[in-house]
């Protein structure tokens, strides 16, 4: 028997001037989302400040915090107040000299249901994440909320079918991707449409291949390096928003604009998943006996 559909929300917003302003703004947006009926609210990647990985500067490690810590506590209080679960992205200080790009899932009782540390760490111009983040070592995550079982990956994980597959195999009905992705302004005219289309296409493919919902929450606005000094030159990143939810056949359930603050609401229907997976039984037909070489870097 199919379970009752439930509502998810993605928060898409621009960055404020300070960590406290960003925290307060996102708490308010998440509370508004819950007030609009959201059972699960997902925030964008590293929402407490500008995307600091545009430069390599050791001073920026001061932005990190423990998990649990101030941010998870604030959203735990909000979750308990609203009765909505929260997906919260933050810069985690695990130990002195050891940091992660982390997402915590907070249940409606205010407790941390699970923690995911970003597995795939990029190193591209203005995305110097390998300087800051140790690759995740907790594996892929799916946890039970009061409405359904959800999974979380983070941003660069979006491009990897293995990440989506392993999360889906843990039973995730929705895979949330807190995200910070955008255009290099000097490339936008030539490559902008192609890049954004590829970003949406690969994730919609994950939805089809796994018969589940995919939900990506991205930021908006032009951001430049935070500090003077090493790697501080550059035109910045123009984040392209376009937060979206795709259904289990790859259909676009909801999509935000490229440049507007948005609380994006979408319905997740476990019955729809059941129907799609019965028609497209990809999980049934997997040849698990033939995939040994997937653990190799390249099959020479």
pLDDT tens digit at each of 300 positions of the chain: 458 999 999 999 999 989 999 999 999 999 999 999 999 999 999 999 999 999 999 999 999 999 999 999 999 999 999 999 999 999 999 999 999 999 999 999 999 999 999 999 999 999 999 999 999 999 999 999 999 999 999 999 999 999 999 999 999 999 999 999 999 999 999 999 999 999 999 999 999 999 999 999 999 999 988 776 655 557 899 999 999 999 999 999 999 999 999 999 999 999 999 999 999 999 999 999 999 999 999 998
pTM: 0.96
Q: At what angle do helices 19-35 and 70-82 cross, to 10 degrees?
A: 20
d(CA 87, CA 178) in angstroms, rounded, equals 8
d(CA 255, CA 250) in angstroms, rounded, equals 13
Can you give the residue ranges of every domain in the chain?
6-295
Please tell me which residue in 93, 155, 212, 238 is annotated as part of the active site.
155
Q: Is the CATH number of domain 6-295 3.60.110.10?
A: yes
Active site residue 261: no
14-23 burial, b at 16+ Cβ within 10 Å, e below that, comes to: bbbeebeebb
Active site residue 53: no
Active site residue 42: no
Please tell me which residue in 42, 45, 92, 212 is annotated as part of the active site.
45
Give me the phi and psi of 219, to 5 degrees please: -95, 170
Please tell me which residue in 42, 118, 129, 212 is annotated as part of the active site.
118
- Tokens representing residue 213 in the block: 């919902």
């Amino acid at each position: 028997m199919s379970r009752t559909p439930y509502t998810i929300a993605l928060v898409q917003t621009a960055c404020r001037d300070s960590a406290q302003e960003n925290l307060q703004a996102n708490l308010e947006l998440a509370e508004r989302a819950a007030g609009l009926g959201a059972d699960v609210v997902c925030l964008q990647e590293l929402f407490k400040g500008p995307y600091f990985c545009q430069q390599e500067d050791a001073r920026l490690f001061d932005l990190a915090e423990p998990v649990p810590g101030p941010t998870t506590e604030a959203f735990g209080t909000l979750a308990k107040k609203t009765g909505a679960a929260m997906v919260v992205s933050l810069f985690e200080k695990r130990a002195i000299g050891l940091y992660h790009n982390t997402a915590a899932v907070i249940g409606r009782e205010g407790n941390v249901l699970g923690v995911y540390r970003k597995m795939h760490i990029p190193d591209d111009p203005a995305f110097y994440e390998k300087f800051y983040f140790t690759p995740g070592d907790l594996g892929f995550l799916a946890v039970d909320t009061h409405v359904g079982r959800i999974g979380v990956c983070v941003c660069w994980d979006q491009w990897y079918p293995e990440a989506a597959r392993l999360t889906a195999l843990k039973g995730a009905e929705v895979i949330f991707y807190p995200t910070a992705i955008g255009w290099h302004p000097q490339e936008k005219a030539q490559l902008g449409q192609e890049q954004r289309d590829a970003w949406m296409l690969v994730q919609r493919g994950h939805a089809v291949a796994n018969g589940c919902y995919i939900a990506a929450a991205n930021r908006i606005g032009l951001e430049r390096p935070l500090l003077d000094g090493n790697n501080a030159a550059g035109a910045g990143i123009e984040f392209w928003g376009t937060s979206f939810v795709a259904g289990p056949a790859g259909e676009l359930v909801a999509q935000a604009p490229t440049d507007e603050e948005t609380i994006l609401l979408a319905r997740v229907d476990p019955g729809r998943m059941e129907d799609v997976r019965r028609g497209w039984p990809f999980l049934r037909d997997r040849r698990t006996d033939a995939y040994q070489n997937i653990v190799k870097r390249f099959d020479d």
